[in-house]
Structure 1
């Protein structure tokens, strides 16, 4: 039985290094661990979710692909479902950046001990990057993928014990994306400019938000400057 991943899920899977045990936090249908075990990227996997519904679906899919001996499902919140050093690679994907950050903060040592974290926040990427930099994690790769009109960014990171100095704009656009000249970066920046324009329209008549407006205007200029350099 063939399992082909596309778009966001395929990019997440492609960023996972060879590992012994993968933990997929917020696994949903368990497609990524199934794909990675079947393709020999990881020897075993843990597929966990906070809701019983997705865990049942994941279990059914794992059984369908005859991988019950190699992939274990667990019900629970975030990294609470794994022990320290149990998984050498951890995926956390498909949730808001603020929630994702809270899950990392709640079990920081598990994140520190992992060889690699593959993160795919649905929003608030600046929150994730700030937490990683402030907690001495290295972002060694990032990539953007498009699914229809939406764009998603996958962040690959690991603990290296060195806190990074950063600008505000580096939190909004990852340095790895700029350095590698990600082919979707210009389109991503144009999308962010449109989002800022919509926010500025809403703030137009609100004088008490002058400081906030200035921040968005500065961000917009930074995005435009980057587009012109690409």
Structure 2
């Protein structure tokens, strides 16, 4: 993967970025995504945020190599602190992290005033999709698009959200994704077939415990029931 050829996962994230956006890519990984999108005329401006010095330096070199230092600003900062008011960012990508970490980044962004709640969010959690969807719902973001894909035997979900005010999702929609639940494509089925086996193992371990945590057992059984219903 490089600035000319993205991984399938990042390519799909890039496809969700609005045309002409002013983008903040948080945890930018060599700035591959904003560089690719700028070269291909998809975005007009970008901030590439990195919290670790090594990746920050790599991103700066990547941008300079492609003569894009005036269009892509690389900043060493924690989360959305990479965004300044003058950037006028209207889209944010956060990819390749756990859902809990992405949720924390967004929460801190609201508290610190970097998240204005007028941006399109394009999020690609590696795990913990449910907790991320819950945060979006609680903070007035509606999910407007989702995609599930497989690459190198790993399954990824992409969630696109926009501020809409009051929004409500059922527990099943939070777990599976409202759009993914409607589509139920082959990759979705494959993911949840794997999850059945995983949760059955968890349930077996819980039942062997000296003190059986009844609430946790009930939670796992309920989710297993939902998954089995979806897979029918």
Q: TM-score, normalised by structure 1?
A: 0.92
Aligned: 1:124 with 2:128: yes
- Corresponding residue SS for 1:107: helix
Looking at structure 2, the residues matched to 103 and 174 of structure 1 have their Cα atoms a distance apart, in angstroms, of 21
Structure 1 position 83, deviation (Å): 2.4
- Which ranges of structure 2 fall in alignment gaps of 5 or more residues? none
Q: 1:142 aligns with which of 139, 146, 149?
A: 146
- Which ranges of structure 1 fall in alignment gaps of 5 or more residues? none
Structure 1 position 64, deviation (Å): 2.0
- Corresponding residue SS for 2:133: helix
Q: 2:177 aligns with which of 171, 174, 179?
A: 174
Looking at structure 2, the residues matched to 167 and 20 of structure 1 have their Cα atoms a distance apart, in angstroms, of 31
How many positions carry a matched residue from both structures? 227
Supply the RMSD in Å over aligned alpha carbons.
1.7
Q: 2:104 aligns with which of 87, 99, 102?
A: 102
Looking at structure 1, the residues matched to 116 and 182 of structure 2 have their Cα atoms a distance apart, in angstroms, of 25
Name whichever of 201-210 and 52-61 sits farther off: 201-210
1:91 aligned residue: 93
4+ runs deviating over 6 angstroms: none
- Corresponding residue SS for 1:67: coil
1:7 aligned residue: 8
2:204 aligned residue: 201
Aligned: 1:65 with 2:66: yes
Q: 2:117 aligns with which of 110, 113, 127?
A: 113
Structure 1 position 2, deviation (Å): 7.0
Aligned: 1:225 with 2:229: yes
